[in-house]
């Protein structure tokens, strides 16, 4: 049976639904009755809602699956953070115990100075940006009433959503300029921590490339030594030497793998930032572009201020010295704007859809 919301109200007023609910009430335990009533209400709302379509039915059926995935991701977030910290610390320990002594013994003083300065600067940048990305709130909707412009209403929070805001199922709230939920940070990436997230990816990639290149010869020596020892089965090889060789191989394989995987992710995010898009907006804009292309129109992203300006806005660069103080050094400056209202480029009239 399908009818309008008005007729459902009439049914409720007439008491027909209430009498249905009352039937069999005393025979079942309270918790079972609650589940029964909820299931009935769910089925009734699906049947009586004139707006019901296959998407609503699909969402309702798979809602428990989505809850489970969200819950597991939320719980595993802490484990992922621990994993990042443990793996980074293990690489640091190997770098200090194996790489550094070798550099000090074999390299010339200028190379030693360069390695020590670069390595520590890179380490400080990784630690600072990871901490800030994980601990900084991405930005949420204000709870008090305000008359700011909004573009839609969040069905989960029942709150007006400004432009670029999206609901995160894992955090279970709306996030300003949401990019994605990052399990490695156990935090959403949004307006207030997007820069920290990107800088962390960039400096972690640079650090891994640095370890991979610096440790390449050590890796080849360690690998050959282990291979030779395995083939000849001759043991002039102490446990300490074997441990050192294995740790060098571990460091090189891990840093090279992370350099490639995280490097690809960083390049992808750099492309998005150049376009003035978030990861979510990439999909939205692509669809919008296809939709307008069918009308013979061209879609233009209203938050794209031009490549260089996009980077300046993203990094918070307002004058030349900021490229050093705000980009190459740890900086806790807030992002441009409050994440609730956005400067929108004037759109050409011939690009507006009819």
Annotated active-site positions, please? 182
Give kind and range of the element (H or E) at residue 195: helix 194-214
177, burial (CB in 10 Å: exposed 0-12, middle 13-18, buried 19+): buried
Tokens representing 128?
């600072």
The answer to whether 181 contacts Zn ion (rule: CB under 5 A) is yes
Tell me the closest approach of the beta carbon of residue 52 to Zn ion, in angstroms.
22
The nearer residue to Zn ion, 122 or 165, going by C-beta atoms, is 165
Tell me the closest approach of the beta carbon of residue 157 to Zn ion, in angstroms.
3
Is residue 304 within 8 Å of residue 275, measured between CB atoms? yes
Q: Report which of 241, 250, 257 is spatially closest to residue 204, judged by C-alpha positions.
A: 257
Q: CA-CA distance, 296 to 299, in Å (whole number)?
A: 10
The nearer residue to Zn ion, 95 or 188, going by C-beta atoms, is 188
Segment contacting Zn ion (CB under 5 A): 1-9, 143-151, 157-165, 301-309? 157-165
Q: Is 71 helix (H, G, I), strand (E, B) or coil?
A: helix
Q: Report which of 237, 253, 225 is spatially closest to residue 94, judged by C-alpha positions.
A: 253
Half-sphere exposure of 90 (CA within 13 A, CB side): 17
Q: Which of residues 187-226 bind Zn ion (CB under 5 A)?
A: 188
Alpha-helical (H) ranges within 297-354 are 307-315, 322
Segment contacting Zn ion (CB under 5 A): 148-156, 200-208, 274-282, 299-307? 148-156
The answer to whether 157 contacts Zn ion (rule: CB under 5 A) is yes
The answer to whether 154 contacts Zn ion (rule: CB under 5 A) is yes
Residue of 167, 180, 242, 336 interacting with Zn ion (CB under 5 A): 167
The nearer residue to Zn ion, 169 or 263, going by C-beta atoms, is 169
Tell me the closest approach of the beta carbon of residue 188 to Zn ion, in angstroms.
3
The nearer residue to Zn ion, 22 or 156, going by C-beta atoms, is 156
Q: Strand (E) positions, 53-200?
A: 152-154, 159-161, 166-168, 173-175, 180-182, 187-189
Q: CA-CA distance, 135 to 42, in Å (whole number)?
A: 38
Residue of 99, 174, 201, 211 interacting with Zn ion (CB under 5 A): 174
The nearer residue to Zn ion, 11 or 171, going by C-beta atoms, is 171
For the chain, how are helix, strand and coil distributed in percent, rounded to 5?
65, 5, 30
Residue 140 is classified by DSSP as: B
The answer to whether 313 contacts Zn ion (rule: CB under 5 A) is no
The nearer residue to Zn ion, 163 or 248, going by C-beta atoms, is 163
Is residue 269 within 8 Å of residue 198, measured between CB atoms? yes
Segment contacting Zn ion (CB under 5 A): 55-63, 129-137, 146-154, 237-245? 146-154
Segment contacting Zn ion (CB under 5 A): 166-174, 191-199, 263-271, 283-291? 166-174
Tell me the closest approach of the beta carbon of residue 181 to Zn ion, in angstroms.
3
Tell me, by CB under 5 A, how many residues bind Zn ion: 10
The answer to whether 156 contacts Zn ion (rule: CB under 5 A) is yes
Chain positions contacting Zn ion, by CB under 5 A = 154, 156-157, 167-168, 170-171, 174, 181, 188
């Amino acid at each position: 049976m399908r009818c309008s919301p008005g007729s459902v109200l009439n049914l409720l007023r007439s008491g027909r639904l209430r009498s249905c609910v009352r039937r069999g009430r005393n025979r079942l335990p309270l918790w079972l009755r609650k589940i029964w009533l909820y299931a009935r209400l769910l089925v009734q709302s699906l049947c009586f809602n004139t707006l019901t379509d296959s998407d609503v039915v699909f969402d309702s059926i798979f809602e428990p699956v989505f809850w489970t995935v969200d819950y597991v991701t939320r719980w595993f977030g802490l484990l992922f953070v621990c994993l990042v910290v443990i793996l980074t610390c293990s690489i640091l320990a190997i770098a200090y115990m194996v790489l550094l002594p070798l550099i000090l013994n074999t390299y010339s003083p200028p190379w030693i100075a360069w390695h020590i300065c670069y390595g520590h600067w890179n380490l400080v940048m990784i630690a600072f940006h990871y901490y800030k990305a994980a601990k900084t709130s991405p930005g949420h909707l204000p709870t008090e009433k305000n008359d700011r412009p909004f573009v839609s209403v969040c069905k989960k929070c029942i709150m007006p959503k400004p432009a670029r805001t999206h609901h995160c199922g894992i955090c279970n709230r709306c996030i300003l300029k949401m990019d994605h939920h990052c399990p490695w940070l156990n935090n959403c990436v949004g307006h207030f921590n997007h820069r920290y997230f990107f800088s962390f990816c960039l400096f972690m990639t640079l650090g891994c490339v640095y370890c991979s290149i610096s440790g390449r010869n050590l890796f080849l020596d360690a690998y050959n030594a282990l291979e030779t020892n395995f083939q000849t089965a001759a043991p002039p090889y102490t446990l300490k030497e074997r441990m050192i060789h294995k740790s060098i191989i571990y460091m090189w394989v891990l840093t090279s793998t992370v350099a490639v995987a995280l490097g690809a992710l960083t390049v992808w995010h750099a492309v998005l930032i150049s376009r003035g898009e978030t990861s979510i907006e990439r999909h939205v804009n692509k669809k919008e572009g296809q939709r307008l292309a069918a009308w013979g129109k061209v879609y233009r992203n209203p938050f794209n201020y031009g490549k260089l300006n996009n980077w300046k806005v993203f990094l918070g660069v307002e004058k030349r010295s900021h490229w050093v103080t705000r980009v190459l050094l740890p900086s806790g400056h807030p992002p441009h704007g409050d994440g609730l209202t956005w400067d929108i480029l004037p759109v050409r009239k011939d690009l507006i859809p009819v």
